[in-house]
Structure 1
Amino acid sequence: MYNSTYNFVHEEASNPTKVADPLHLVPLLPQGQPETEQAYLILQRLFPHAELSNIQTTVFLQAWQGKTYQQIAQSTGYDADYIKDVGHKLWRKLSASLGESLSKHNFCSILRRRFQQLEDTTSVRPLPSDSNARSVRSQPPNSGISYSSHSCDWGEAAAVPVFEGRQFVITQLKRWILEDHNRLIGIFGLGGVGKTALAVKCVEQIQHQFDCVIWRSLRDQPDFDNLMSDLLYSIIAIVEQDPIDLPETIQDKVTLLLSLLNQHRCLLILDDWFSVLQGDELAGSYQTGCEPYGLLLRRISESRHQSCVLITSREQPAGLAFTDNHAFPIRTLYLDGLDVHSGRAALKTFGLESSQEYYDLLVQRYTGNPYALRVVVKTIVDFFAEDVPQFLQRDELIYGDIRRLLHQQFCRLSKLETAILKSLANLDTPGSLTDIAQDVFLEQSDLLLDALESLHRRSFIRKQNSCISVPQILKEYIRASYEL
């Protein structure tokens, strides 16, 4: 079934979960499927001596097509955990051979790039004619990240085509990371405010200062043990010449990670940290089964090492003293929306032509939230012919994707937090603690300070001296949702 020029070997028949014969799963360069042909060709040229089993080859080809491990398991008849383990070992094996960190998230773009480099320097024959239109000379569609060094594994980091302002904040982050050598930095803020975009732009500017840069998203709530294995495989592939066997226990894996962070100057970015935190109660506690994530942050902050871990989250995790005290190597940044000047620039870049007065009004009503501004521009252009006054006259500022984004965050609140926000939204000016206590049901008044601290962890309130206010975009949402 296989051409002898491909070094595929038979799968071991020792997996009890197997219910399908993998020999019938991988066709030989099927005609009319240029992406599969391209994947085969790249695999052969970059790994001529790799002896891959049939199931490893299947995982490679189906992952190239963008399938998840669960989908690959369904199509092959193998257990999903087994397929995931095959994948981890496959990326580790190919990483060691290539000398560059590969993962399921980044291997397509990296292998395309490395194949192109090989084609540029050798007499590599062109791809099959059916795939000329998709030549590997073109960059992959999601290649918004600049891979300036083999030491960077960007994972699922988003491309950031529009980025306005934030220069002071980027300078501050760079100082915290490069000059102050902080071990742990948290970027917190409402959804859509631009935490991920800020992190991407900052890391792009400083990536060359590190032996190893790895970006991972927690959006899909990855199993902690799998995440640790992925991080360790990726770091080892970049900084270690020879692969090593990973320890079995979570504690030992965390210890090994800290050892690597101490031996090498690494920058780890863990995006969407809030995904492993618990909703429907005060902010910061971990979901059942996700408690090891808290252990990881605590050990990173307390252990001596030369690396930096950057997290982004809608909520600040509890049990960790994020502080601005220079005695501790931990920093926190609460990210607000764009200022008026940057907001105007963003609205123009998003495609809205209007007067400065209306630019400023939109920025103010949506608290400079870049995501909300982008949604609003599309609505005004598509349905109001760029007539901002006509849009504002409808007095329907919270709708569609903006409502859904805010609703996701409101669903995580406790009843007391919701009551406090409704009280603050009724005020035209910032309120005091006394104002809130008089309006909130008294039977839970002993938890008032806890609830306020929780709202601050979620970036739902702003503290100004002894007064407290709610960002305008949240105030608009609360008034619309509760008919205040």
Structure 2
Amino acid sequence: MKISIEEALEIVEKVTHQGGLSKVQEIVFRQCWEGSSYQEIARNSGYQLGYIRDVGHKLWQSLSKAFGQRITKTNFQRIINQYQLAASCPTDKCQASPASAFSLPTLQQSTVKYKQEWKEIIDVSKFFGRTIELANLEEWIVSDRCRVVSLSGMPGIGKTSLAAVCAEKIQHEFEYLIWHNVRNAQPIKELLAEIIIFLGQQPGIELPQTIDGLLACLMKYLRQHRCLLILDNYESVLQSGGKAGRYRDNYEGYGQLLRQVADERHQSCLLLTTRELPISLNVKAGDNLPVRSLQLSGLSPEPACEILAAKGLIFTNKEARELVERYSGNPLALKIAAASIQSLYKKNVSKFLSQDRIVFGEIWDLLEQQFNRLSNREKQVMLWLTNQDPHLLHINENDLPGLSIRNVLEALQSLQQRSLIKNDSFCFTQPNMILEYIKEVTHYKSESSILKFTSVPSELSQVPTLSKKQG
């Protein structure tokens, strides 16, 4: 049974022999015990965020020294509960020295049980770069105790790999870890039931029949235990052919799950990987909020070149930089290209670059799949952007592809959510791979046919769907 916060403070006072905590230390201790982030503590107490972080850091250092093991913001509740359990141990050894008994490995092994369920997690024994992104995720999830974190980006950019590496690194900060791949769009009731049964460790338990009931049951566990829930390939429950981030029919329950986990107070975290942000998260995310979003871009040249070297390719530094730039630092695209260079060009990067066609085979399929998720308006705007100088681009009614300014702005926003365009001070650019793909599409179809824009909204359905020409 978990002890109360007052009992915890009494234990701290007894173990530290310092007459208890200072006023600010007690504020940090109490609110961390309740699951608040440093941002929330700073906001509630009126102190600066940096000061609260510093007080917290010194507090955990002091407690680590007093208790004889590493104590952090995420594990101090469990450590103090274990101390109380050791203090009440009936053996003479425990009664004589609870602090000593508490630090025994045998006691820790019997009381700390990490339960994990990894479904379809990928092998990340070879992982390149992403040190800054990994540090950000760890800080958000472990230190800031964010309730929802999303990893978004275009296909192949490394979302799943980064999430897997992060989960492996921080797994022991959680009592429960659950990894689910929702690629096959599992109905929300089935997903919730599986998670609840795992958390409850009672396979025969009778579960609620409604989504509301299942969510209420899940939230109870998320409040009682420190859980890390990862949902991979979340875009599978989002619709194609419309604005980004909207749910498929009969999958709105996933949005309800996100809203409750994001809005309600608890001590757990939900981590998503997705090609596009769900609309509800886009609104709730913020730098100082318990919901955070990280949009991945391509790898920097150094780790990207490590991918090429691992494949045994032959290249100069200039050739490697050009290849990385052509594929926008996309790790999966680089691996696919490296395999083609191995088999078709005898590992010679120079010969591959000389043929000036980088989008084909699996890379073409990858981009086509993403492009075909777009609405007709988004496709129109993508093709329009291809013919514009991004540094001279101005949105005005006379220079639009048969669409109103509102339509174009909505399409641009939606394309950003899908990571298909970047906006730097209203200078919109497309990743090099996307530009290459569109050039290939216009090569197969006449440009006048592809770029035939209509001014009447009812005629938008006549814009041809862009797909690879057969034969």
Name the amino acid aligned to 1:225: K
434, 445, 466: which one aligns with 1:474: 434
The change in CA–CA distance for 1:285 and 1:390 in structure 2 (over 3 A counts) is same
Superposed displacement of residue 150, structure 1: 4.8
Give CA deviations for 1:314-360 in whole Å, capped at 9, x if unaligned: 0111133242241x210000001111111111111133231111111
What is the aligned partner in structure 2 of residue 106 from structure 1?
none
Partner of 1:205: 169
Matches within 5 A, 1:178-197: 178-197=142-161
Give, in whole Å, the separation in 1 of the partners of 2:303 and 2:371. Answer: 27
Aligned with 2:254 (options 293, 309, 319): 293
Q: CA deviation at 1:447?
A: 1.4
Distance 1:231 1:208 in 2: 19
| 1:416/1:444 contact within 8 Å kept | no
* 1:315 and 2:276 correspond: yes
8 Å Cα contact 1:424-1:431 kept in structure 2: no
Determine if the alignment matches structure 1 residue 352 to structure 2 residue 316: no
Whole-Å separation in 2 of the counterparts to 1:438 and 1:304: 50
For 2:393 and 2:223, the matched residues in 1 are separated by 46
> Equivalent residues in 2 for 1:322-361 (5 A)?
322-326=284-288, 328-361=289-322
In the aligned structure 2, how far is the partner of 1:178 from the partner of 1:332? 15
Match of 2:181 in 1: 217
CA distance in 2, matches of 1:381, 1:354: 12
**Greater fraction of residues in helix:** 2
Q: 2:236 is matched with which residue?
A: 275
The answer on 1:384 being equivalent to 2:348 is no
Find 1:371's aligned residue among 332, 341, 345.
332
Letter of the 1:466 counterpart: F
Given that 2:114 and 2:175 are in contact with CA atoms closer than 8 Å, whether structure 1 keeps it comes out as no
1:471, CA displacement in angstroms? 1.1
- 1:425 Cα deviation from its structure 2 partner: 2.1
Looking at structure 2, the residues matched to 396 and 422 of structure 1 have their Cα atoms a distance apart, in angstroms, of 19
Q: Which piece of structure 1 moves more, 459-468 or 212-221?
A: 459-468
DSSP 3-state at the match of 2:333: helix
Residue 412 of structure 1 corresponds to 373
Mark the runs of 5 or more structure 1 residues left unpaired by the alignment.
1-147
* Structure 1 contact 183–305 (Cα < 8 Å) conserved: yes
Unpaired runs of at least 5, structure 2: 1-111, 448-471
Tell me what 1:447 maps to.
407
Alpha-carbon spacing, 1:387–1:428, altered in 2? closer, same or farther (3 Å): farther
CA distance in 2, matches of 1:193, 1:431: 29
Note the C-alpha offset of 1:476: 1.1
**Are the aligned partners of 1:187 and 1:335 in contact in 2 as well (CA < 8 Å)?**
yes
Mapped to 2, the partners of 1:349 and 1:236 lie a distance apart of: 44
SS at match of 1:412: coil
Structure 2 equivalent of residue 462 of structure 1: 422
Q: What's the CA shift for 1:433?
A: 4.1
Q: Secondary structure at the match of 2:280?
A: coil
In the alignment, the residues of structure 2 paired with residue 400 and residue 160 of structure 1 have an alpha-carbon distance, to the nearest angstrom, of: 24
**How far apart, in 1, do the equivalents of 2:323 and 2:155 lie?**
18
Distance across 1 between alignment mates of 2:370 and 2:260: 28
**1:258-312 superposed Cα distances (whole Å, 9 cap, x missing partner):** 1100100000000000001000111111111111111110111011100000000
Equivalent AA in structure 2 for residue 382 of structure 1: S
Aligned residue in 1 for 2:354: 393
Q: Which one-letter code corresponds to 1:176 in the other structure?
A: W
Q: Residues 113-262 of structure 1: matches in 2 within 5 Å? A: 150-237=114-201, 244-262=205-223
Q: Is the 8 A contact 2:238 2:248 kept in 1?
A: yes
> 1:468 and 1:149, CA in 2 relative to 1: closer, same or farther beyond 3 A?
farther
Kept after mapping to 2: 8 A contact 1:236/1:243 = no
Residue identity (%): 36
Letter in 2 for 1:458: R
Asked if the contact 1:358/1:388 (under 8 Å) is kept, the reply is: yes
- Which amino acid in the other structure matches residue 164 of structure 1? F
Q: 1:395 to 1:285 in 2, by over 3 A?
A: same
SS in 1 for 2:279: coil
Shift of 1:391: 1.2
**1:387 CA drift (Å):** 1.9
Question: Distance in 2 between the 1:314 and 1:270 partners?
Answer: 12
RMSD of Structure 2 on Structure 1 (CA): 1.8
Match of 2:224 in 1: 263
Q: Which residue of 1 aligns with 2:460?
A: none
- Aligned residue for 2:179, secondary structure, equals strand
1:161, distance to aligned residue in structure 2 (A): 3.5
Q: How far off its partner does 1:426 sit?
A: 2.5
Q: Is the CA contact (8 Å cut-off) linking 1:322 and 1:332 kept in structure 2?
A: no
How has the CA–CA distance of structure 1 residues 470 and 315 changed in structure 2, closer, same or farther, with 3 Å as cutoff? same
Kindly state the Cα deviation for residue 465 of structure 1 after the two structures are TM-superposed. Answer: 1.4
Quickly say closer, same or farther: Cα 1:159–1:209, change in 2 above 3 A. same
Flag the 1:431–1:278 CA change in 2: closer, same or farther, 3 A.
farther
C-alpha spacing 1:431/1:476, structure 2 compared with 1 (3 Å): farther
Matched AA of 1:247: P
Does the C-alpha gap of structure 1 residues 278 and 409 become closer, same or farther in structure 2, counting only changes over 3 Å?
same
Aligned residue pair count: 332
